[in-house]
Amino acid sequence: MGNGTSQGTALLHCFPHDDVRLRDAAEELVRSDAVAEPRDLERSLRATYPNVVVRGQHPLAAMTGDTAVWYVFRDGSYVPDDTSPDAAD
């Protein structure tokens, strides 16, 4: 499964993209119906990821119908993959 996979309740976008353990943990919680809201997922992930933040997409940003989009930030916010000065080149 790639980043942004749908698990029924929500389409998850996990950051960083390459953290497979975070994505798998989040998807398992959503798939098990243990969470109904982004804050529920955030609470459940906090035991393993103390800085995690989960936010739902604003309704005005939605491109399609019924599936909610949730953003899972392991480090509390988006952190670019490469923050070195040479990355902009």
**pLDDT, tens digit (0-9, with 9 covering 90-100), for 14-70:** 999 999 999 999 999 999 988 989 999 999 999 999 999 999 998 777 776 678 899
pTM over 0.75: yes
- Position 10 scores a pLDDT of 87
For residue 5, pLDDT beyond 60: no
CA–CA gap between residue 88 and residue 46 (Å, rounded):
33
- Position 2 scores a pLDDT of 41
Three-state SS letters, the chain = CCCCCECCCEEEEEECCCCHHHHHHHHHHHHCCCCCCHHHHHHHHCCCCCCCEEEECCHHHCCCCCCEEEEEECCCCCCCCCCCHHHHC
